Amino acid sequence: MPSYTPPLRDMRFVMHEVLKVTDELKPIARYAEADAGTIDAVLEEGGKFATEAVFPLNAVGDTEGCSYDAATHEVRTPTGFKQAYAQYVEAGWPGLSADPRWGGQGLPLVVSQCFNEMLNSANQAWNMYPGLTHGAYAALATHGTDEQKQTYLPKMTSGQWTGTMCLTEAHCGTDLGLMRTRAEPQPDGSYRITGNKIFISAGEHDMSDNIIHLVLARLPDAPPGIKGVSLFIIPKFLVNQDGSLGARNSIYCGGLEHKMGIHGNATAQIVIDGATGWMIGQPNKGMQGMFVMMNAARLGVGNQSLGLIEVAYQNALAYAKERIQMRSLSGAKAKDKPADPIIVHPDVRKMLLTAKAYAEGGRALAVYCAVLLDKAHYHPDEKVRKDSDEMLSLLTPIVKAFTTDNGHIATNACLQVFGGHGYIREWGMEQFARDNRINMIYEGTNTIQSLDLLGRKVLGNNGATLKKFGKLVAQLVEEEGVNEKMAEFINPIAYLGDQMTKFTTEIGFKGFQNPDEVGAAAVDYLRVLGHLVHGYFWARMAQVALREIAAGNADPFYQAKLQTARFYFARLFPETLTLMRTARAGSKVLMDTDLALA
């Protein structure tokens, strides 16, 4: 059976030693009293909840899955899921970073970020039930009316009600402009909504009293395409004036998808049969509200893979230390045993270090983005708010796509460490690999994220935001450029930082002549930029480790951090050279292939 230990030491390192999150957030009045001790204490308790209440249910959820009653359209979650959720609600975890106006605790988002990483390591399928609620909460808090906020946000903050996002329809996936769900205005200001949605995570379950569906639909006079989409609230149970639950709304589960992974989460087909709903925001402006939820979900999906990388790595490391097989090529290491532990073999170490490097680099990026999100919302300086939002916009597709791609690489590498045992269910490794696979697909496939990054976030503003990130890299290079001990970490990002302008300009020019050039280069481009971002954070982590060692700190944590940084820059970062070459290969070898694909 797998095990899991919350990586609290590394979280503290990233938050307090590298990114100094409490200093960054201190200008924000609501966080002025949020100190490191409070954050650490909350996360220590969160780690206990993740390991004791949720992690034991991971294999149970995978084996049992969810059950669907076709007669009642009800869904029962796996054994223990409902009880663990009741514990979660009773302890106040849903409102950790929610606004105190709605009953939340008002802690910085970085606390929720780290807590949810632990929940994702413990049980991604379970954590998706409350996880979708956070995005629905954010959309309502940003675009809902005062009445809508007062009706829904307190119960969503407490966890009594959960939320979903209902976008996808069977005939269209990401191309939401093709959707057919219709909303007919009613005399009382409500709407009668009819349509069908698929792939709705946590779309029906028995864990909360009500489910608040956020649904995209078209008005009768809506213009065609994405410009004719509106956003609606459709509660599973209608809500009375006094806040109590009323009649069952005519929105229900028509069946569950049978999936490769995340079996414990109910991925529902949702039938909307003249349901009563209310518009959020303005007519035909639904994507503004939904993008709030989608961007939150994209950061959340990256966090799901981060959690899976961590737990897969921990179990592979423990196995590699105990499993004996063959002798080391450089001579026996465990002379008292008939063979050496497999951790002595170079390629086993490469697989382990790949997962470790992607987990720790991904954690630094995720924490940094959580701080950006809080600054974008609440910082008193308008320029800081704008700059933070702009940087977050650039980094969101990287968090989603780069981290989930790395999750695929890392969970499969960790499975490989187990050899044949990794391929069977008892060890839990194949579940981590299966569960991660969806993360590369939903909330916009990683190709969509790549097109968004290159087309909108980089070329769309002539590289202005990319240059701002480049300045962060340049500042670090200038600060440490003469430090010989930092050279192995600084030189790679300095070189790639210089190359990015030329690389981006070249692709942009080719794309201006032929848009397919952008599509052909986008996935490789995102991965190059992902490495530049990870490289920047790894250099910062190495910087802190070197300073601690120079000051006489003998904690082996810092030497371990340097060893991992060296591995990352020597073995993973050089992938950028190949990726830039393949990105420059152009679209002809892809598009001039009609005979090959006949």
Q: What is the distance between the alpha carbons of residues 238 and 250, in angstroms, rounded to a whole number?
A: 10
Residue at 403: amino acid letter:
T
- CB–CB of 510/583 below 8 Å? no
204, 443, 480, 548: the active-site residue: 443
Question: Whole-angstrom Cα distance, residue 88 to residue 82?
Answer: 10
The Cβ of residue 585 has, within 10 Å, a number of other Cβ atoms equal to: 12
CA dihedral of 446, 448, 453, 455, whole degrees rounded to 10: 150
The DSSP bridge partners found for residue 273 are 194
Between the two ends of the chain, the Cα-to-Cα distance in Å is 47
Compute the distance between CA of residue 160 and CA of residue 390 in angstroms, rounded to an integer. 34
Angle formed by the axes of helices 464-480 and 487-513, to 10°?
Answer: 160
Does the annotation mark 443 as catalytic? yes
Give the C-alpha separation, 135 to 180, whole Å.
23
- Name the DSSP class of 224: S
Q: What one-character-per-residue DSSP string does 498-553 give?
A: HHHHHHHHHHHHHHHH-THHHHHHHHHHHHHHHHHHHHHHHHHHHHHHHHHHHTT-
Q: Rounded to the nearest 10 degrees, how much is the dihedral formed by the CA atoms of 534, 536, 542, 547? A: -150
Query: What region does 28 belong to: left with phi over 0, alpha with psi -120 to 50, or beta?
Result: beta
Instruction: Spell out the alpha helix ranges (H) of 144-219.
Output: 146-158
Measured distance CA(248)–CA(235) in Å, rounded: 9
Cα–Cα distance, 218 to 167 (Å, whole number): 12
Which residues belong to the active site? 443
